[in-house]
Amino acid sequence: MATPNTPLWEVFIRSRNGLAHKHCGSLHAPDATMALQAARDLYTRRGEGLSIWVVPSSAITASDPADKGMMFEPAESKIYRHPTFYEVPEEVGHM
Amino acid sequence: MYTQALNSPEEGSHAEDAVRASRFQARIDAEERIEPNAWMPAAYRKTLVRQISQHAHSEIVGMLPEGNWITRAPSLRRKAALLAKVQDECGHGLYLYAAAETLGASREELVDAMLAGKAKYSSIFNYPTLTWADIGVIGWLVDGAAIMNQIPLCRCSYGPYARAMIRVCKEESFHQRQGYEIMLTLCRGTAEQKAMAQEALNRWWWPVLMMFGPPDQASQHSDASTKWKIKRFSNDELRQKFIDATVPQAQYLGLTMPDPEMKQDEQGHWRHGPIDWNEFKQVLAGNGPCNRDRLAARRKAHADGAWVRDAAAAYAEKRARRQMAQAAE
C-alpha cells in the first residue's frame, strides 16, 4: 500500500533574542501542532533556537526566477541609493 | 524554499533545450548554485534525486546497526551519546529527504521505493555490529569516511543539497570523535578489550574502504556528476585521503590495519592492497550479511507506525472540518 501524503511545512527559527526568524528547512506533519513539535526535534537539537514558526509550504508565493531581471535589475543601476555615492570632504569627518 | 509545486517538468523544443543546457552549464562553471525552481536538465534532476534519496535512505538504515547497542551501552555517558548520535542520523535522513523533495520527488514515493527494496542505500549498513567495539569503529571509521565524502558535497552545485550537507557535516564531527574516544578507551583497557577493538577494526576496515564506491575506472556515474559539480573528487582520491588520515590514528591506538600489503610510498601516501570488489557487488545486490534484516526492520517500523500516521491524519482532518464549520456559522 502506498503511504498517504502528509502536508509539507516550512520551518523558520529565531536563533537569538533580537534576531529575525530565518528559514532553516522543511518537514512533513499532519497539522500545525505536530509540525511545531517535529521542528523542535529536527532543527533545534543543539540549542539553535528560541522560537519557531511553521508555515504550510502551500501558503508561500515565490517569485519566478525567469522574472529575476524585471524584478531586481532596476535597483542595480540606482547607486545613488547608497551612502558611498555621495562625496563628503575628509575634513568633515565621519558622517 | 522547499516545495514540490514549483517543479513541474517543462517541455520545450530540442533547440531551446540546447540553449538552456549551455546556459545551465555556464552557471555551473561559474560556481553558481542551482536552486529548485531554476531550469535544469532532466538528467541532472534524475541524478540528484537518485543520489540524495540514496543518501537519505543510508542515514535512516544507518540507525539500525547502532540502535542495536543503545540498551547495551556500557555506561550512561555512552548511552546518552549513542542515543544522540542515532537521533542525529534520523535528522540527517530527514534533511536529505527534504532536499530530494525540492526536485519534485515526493517523500512517500522515496520511502516506498526503499521499503520495496527498489532503492539502494550505503553498503556499509549491511554488516552486523557484533561487539561494543563495533560502535567505536563505526563512529571513527564509518562516520569518518562519510565526512570525507560529505565535505566536498557542501560545495555541490545544487543549493538545497549543499545546504543540507553543511548542517550534516557540522553534526557529524561529534560522531567521529565519540567513536575514536570509545576506541581509545578500549585500547587503553584490558588485553581483552584491546583485542576486541582490533577484531572490530579487522572486520570493518575493508567494508569501510568500499564506502567510497568502485575504483575510478569502473564508476558509472562519475563523468556527468563531475561536469555538473555534484562530485568534486573521484572515488579513489577520496579513499586515498581517508586512508592517509586514518593510518596515523590507528597507530596512535596501537592497532594494526588488517592489510598485509599496506605500505607508505615515497610521497607519504599509505597504499592499500587489493579490495575484494566482488564482496561489494554481492552486498549491493542484496546478499550482504544483514540486507534482509535491515529491510525487514524498516518495513516493520513503517507498518507498526501506520496507526499513528492514520490517527494523526484523521485528527488533523477532524479539526480542519470543525474550523470550517465554525467559520461558516
Tens-place pLDDT, residues B54-87 = 999 999 999 999 999 999 999 999 999 999 999 9
List the single residue in A5, A26, A64 with the smallest CB-CB distance to B2.
Answer: A26
B87 has a chain A CB within 8 A of its CB: yes
User: What pLDDT does residue B179 have?
Assistant: 97
Q: Which of A5, A27, A41 sits opposite B98 (nearest CB)?
A: A27
Relative to beta strand A51-56, strand B263-264 is unpaired
Sheet hosting strand A22-28, strand order edge to edge: A22-28, A8-14, A51-56
B84 to A27: CB separation less than 8 angstroms, yes or no: no
Note whether B29 and B94 are within 8 A (CB): no
Q: Give the contacts of B170 (CB within 8 A, at least 6 positions apart).
A: none
**A30 vs B312: CB contact, 8 Å cut-off?**
yes
Q: Per-residue pLDDT averaged across B310-329, rounded? A: 92
Which CA distances in Å does B212 have to B96, B145, B277, B290?
Answer: 19, 8, 12, 20
Phi, psi of A25 (to 5 degrees): 160, -165
* CATH number for the segment(s) A8-89: 3.10.20.520
What pLDDT, on a 0 to 100 scale, did the predictor assign at position A1?
Answer: 44
Least confident range of B75-84, B163-172, B187-196 = B163-172
pLDDT (mean) for B174-187: 96
pLDDT of residue A4: 62
Residue of chain A whose alpha carbon sits nearest to that of B319: A31
What tens digit of pLDDT does each residue of B240-262 get? 999 999 999 999 999 999 999 99
* Residue A82 pLDDT class (50, 70, 90 cuts): very high
At B31, the amino acid letter reads E
C-beta neighbour count of B176 within 10 angstroms: 20
Question: Smallest Cα–Cα separation from B153: which of B145, B164, B143, B142?
Answer: B164
* ipTM, interface predicted TM-score of the complex: 0.82
| End-to-end Cα spacing for chain B | 36
Q: Chain A contact for B88, CB < 8 A? A: yes
Average pLDDT, chain A: 91
**Under the phi-then-psi rule, with left for phi > 0, alpha for psi from -120 to 50, and beta for the rest, what region is A26?**
beta
Alpha-carbon distance A78 to nearest alpha carbon in chain B (angstroms)? 25
- From CA B312, how far away is CA B69, in angstroms rounded? 30
User: Has residue B12 got a pLDDT over 60?
Assistant: no
Residues 22-41 of B with CB under 8 A from A: 35, 37-38
Chain B residue numbers with beta carbons less than 8 Å from the beta carbon of A3 are: 108, 111-112, 302, 309
Cβ contacts from A onto B, under 8 A: 76
Q: Which residues of A touch B27 (CB under 8 A)?
A: none
- CA end-to-end span of chain A: 68
Confidence of residue B6 (pLDDT cuts 50, 70, 90): very low
Distance of alpha carbon B92 from alpha carbon B112, whole angstroms: 18
Q: Give the pLDDT of residue A3.
A: 59
Rounded percentage of chain B residues whose pLDDT exceeds 70: 95
Q: Is residue A16 predicted with pLDDT exceeding 70?
A: yes
Name the residue in chain B with its Cα closest to that of A1. B112
Which of A2, A25, A29 faces B112 most closely, judged by CB atoms?
A: A2
Surface of A (66-95) touching B: CB under 8 A: none
Average pLDDT in chain B = 92
Residue B271 phi, psi dihedral angles, 5° rounding: -95, 130
Can you give the pTM of this predicted structure?
A: 0.89
- For residues B162 and B143, what is the distance between their CA atoms, to the nearest angstrom? 18
CA distance to B10, B121, B130, B204, B276, per residue, from B189 (Å): 62, 35, 19, 21, 33
CB hemisphere CA count around A72 (13 angstroms):
7
Query: Are the Cβ atoms of A65 and B313 closer than 8 angstroms?
Result: no
The pLDDT of residue B9 is above 70: no
Closest approach of A94 to chain B, Cα-based (Å): 37
Q: B285: which DSSP letter? A: I
> Tell me, what's the pLDDT at B4?
32
Cell (9 digits) for B85: 548520535
Q: pLDDT band at B222, cuts 50/70/90?
A: low
Q: Calculate mean pLDDT across residues A87-91.
A: 93
- The residue extents of the domains of chain A are 8-89
Residue A60 and residue B3 in contact, taking contact as beta carbons nearer than 8 Å: yes
